[in-house]
Amino acid sequence: VKIVIVTGASGFLGRHTVSALRERGFYVHGLSRRPDADVSCEWQTADLFDTDAVQGVLKRVRPTHLLHLAWETEHGRYWTAPANARWVEASLALWRHFTEAGGQRAVGTGTCAEYTWDDSLLAGRPVEEGVPRAPRSFYGLAKSAAFDLLDAYSRSVGLDFAWGRVFFPYGPGDCRPTLIPSVIRALRAGQPAQCTHGRQQRDFVHVRDAATAFAALLEGKVSGAVNIATGTAISIAHVVTTLGALLRRPDLIRLGALEGRLDEPAWLVADIRRLRDEVGFVPRIDLIEGLRETVEWWERQIF
Amino acid sequence: VKIVIVTGASGFLGRHTVSALRERGFYVHGLSRRPDADVSCEWQTADLFDTDAVQGVLKRVRPTHLLHLAWETEHGRYWTAPANARWVEASLALWRHFTEAGGQRAVGTGTCAEYTWDDSLLAGRPVEEGVPRAPRSFYGLAKSAAFDLLDAYSRSVGLDFAWGRVFFPYGPGDCRPTLIPSVIRALRAGQPAQCTHGRQQRDFVHVRDAATAFAALLEGKVSGAVNIATGTAISIAHVVTTLGALLRRPDLIRLGALEGRLDEPAWLVADIRRLRDEVGFVPRIDLIEGLRETVEWWERQIF
């Protein structure tokens, strides 16, 4: 029997992942300070910063698997927040208590912010997992250090370990003030969507694809880091103008209204050979279909 | 007034460092599970893995400075021990509680094992602090990750931070089963000292020089990583034959009796320009003088 503890189970990616894990026959325990009755799993209430409480849950549940999605997420602050170090602490303690409770396989969540964002090094090529990392932010640095530490720790105690590096997830349920939700909100309110030039190329992955990829990664045997992405470069201008068309307000799209950020790369796209060939998962949801579904989700929301 | 908490104050490097700090006018609190009455400082008894206890000590003492020397040290095991991850956890918690207690400047202890040990990359040049690190062991990786995390954390909360990367400390009080104590013990027992070919070049630093360097680093304003070493390459054969001469048993030195380890570099020597020019410290103790003092220390011990 496969029993999994999922941290961050009530988050944007977590909710979708719980469904994907249940479909694969996992018995899912969500671990959270704030259980969410809308997510179908057995809830364990604990603060991940309270390592005694976490230890208690793991001893009681004795999970075979661990999927650790939780991290600092406060928009605009998480790039530099001191709490990034706290999340490394919490992650190391979680691995330790999972191991001591007899766990077998643990998967953590990384980010494309672990990679260099230097355009001259990226050189317009899809980023492979094995390249030397050079994170620019505290967030990226903390995730990268957590990967190295959890990987080495897992080897030293004989725990199966993998790490999904998520690129740019989007989709229904995303209320973060990131690009896609912000543009949708603006257009729905009849306000202009102020954007940069939009020539940045990104690897946008539908949250349900990312969730299914995590479930496949957790269920499988692949070790180490695996990019969770599509391998496809999409310009921000393409995303934004598609949203303008879907919401029938192309007139409100203001490409070039904002300065581009100097610290963001022109091109950030994943090499997904490990995901495809080793995990055996290929993203299925086309961008336009995914954006349409996202717009429809927003139209059903009552705020 | 300068109040410092020193972890690992009863260790080989710690004891010497407490003296060096007192000479510079620091009021020294040693933090340890096992206070050592032979070390002249005010002792605070706490297990560094017990973060509540550590928090209690820091709230009570309210140190202005922190010098964190403690780490897993069990010989032969610390290179790969799972506890390396636990020490990262403990170090992050220590920084957090030090910051919350109003601390101003914190110095941690790194190692030359953070650097690459690939001879083709070392290329017989002194290693500068800024080179890309590529630790080969879990110990080196954990120290390197701790440096990155503590550095980024300290920036994010406005804490002064430095990191002393110690090369090969030796001297009186070193009872670890490392090269120099092992050779001295063998010769004193009239037994052959089995050695490798001895052509490896290392940067041996006298523990009192290393301790004085840490005290200077803590008292000063330099940020980031600083090598704690001499900048001088000494062959292991030179050290071992010197010990043979000092103990009047050159006949017992067996260079070439053991296979060289494949995973150790031929050459590992520090660039000490930061220590010399920025910290303003130059090692003073000559190797032969230091070895003589070490031999004399062993001759005074009664086991």
Percent of the residues in chain A that have a pLDDT greater than 70, as a whole number? 100
User: What are the tens digits of pLDDT across the range A47-94?
Assistant: 999 999 999 999 999 999 999 999 998 888 999 999 999 999 999 999
DSSP-derived letter for residue A131 is S
pLDDT at residue A125, rounded to an integer? 92
Among B130, B150, B160, B146, smallest CA distance to B273 is for: B130
DSSP E strands: which ranges in B123-223? Answer: 160-166, 168-170, 193-194, 201-202, 204-206
Q: Extract the residue ranges of chain A whose pLDDT is less than 70.
A: 303
**Shortest alpha-carbon distance between residue B4 and chain A (Å):** 23
Distances (CA, A) of B208 to A224, B15, B85, B195, B216: 42, 10, 29, 26, 12
Q: How far apart, in whole angstroms, are the C-alpha atoms of residue B163 and residue B151? A: 9
What ipTM does this complex have? 0.93
Angle at A52 between CA B158 and CA B78, to 5 degrees: 70
Residue B193 near residue B254, CB atoms below 8 Å: yes
Q: How far apart, in whole angstroms, are the C-alpha atoms of residue B242 and residue B229? A: 20
Mark yes or no for CB contact A153/B138 under 8 Å.
yes
A-to-B residue pairs, Cβ atoms closer than 8 angstroms = 75
Q: Does B88 touch chain A (CB under 8 A)?
A: yes
Mark yes or no for CB contact A156/B81 under 8 Å.
yes
Q: To probe the interface with B, which of A153, A157, A159 has the most B CB atoms within 10 Å? A: A153
Q: How far apart, in whole angstroms, are the C-alpha atoms of residue B221 and residue A95? A: 36
DSSP-derived letter for residue A297 is H
The residue length of chain B stands at: 303
Residue partners of B38: CB distance under 8 A and separation at least 6 = B15
User: What are the tens digits of pLDDT across the range A240-256?
Assistant: 999 999 999 999 999 99
**Which residue is listed with tokens 């003088």?**
B289
pLDDT at residue B303, rounded to an integer? 62
Chain A residue with CA closest to B83: the answer is A153
DSSP strand pairing (B224-228 vs B193-194) = unpaired
Residues 191-250 (B) with a CB less than 8 A from some CB of A:
none
DSSP strand pairing (B267-268 vs A234-235) = unpaired
Q: How far apart, in whole angstroms, are the C-alpha atoms of residue B20 and residue B216? A: 9
User: What are the tens digits of pLDDT across the range B53-111?
Assistant: 999 999 999 999 999 999 998 888 999 999 999 999 999 999 999 999 999 999 999 99
Q: Does B50 touch chain A (CB under 8 A)?
A: no
**Shortest alpha-carbon distance between residue B62 and chain A (Å):** 21
- B26-61 burial by CB neighbour count: b if 16+ within 10 A, else e? bbbbbbbeebbeebebebbebebeebebbbebbeeb
Residue A88 near residue A140, CB atoms below 8 Å: no
Distances (CA, A) of A236 to A93, A188, A205, A288, B76: 38, 19, 13, 13, 53
B85 vs A81, A132, A153: nearest CB? A153
Structure tokens at A11: 């988050």
**Shortest alpha-carbon distance between residue B77 and chain A (Å):** 11
Q: Extract the residue ranges of chain B whose pLDDT is less than 50.
A: none
DSSP, collapsed to helix, strand or coil, labels residue B255 as coil
Residue partners of A241: CB distance under 8 A and separation at least 6 = A250, A253, A255
Show residues of chain B in contact with A98, CB under 8 Å: none
Q: Does A82 touch chain B (CB under 8 A)?
A: yes
Mark yes or no for CB contact A153/B141 under 8 Å.
no
Residue B11: CA count within 13 A, CB half-sphere? 23
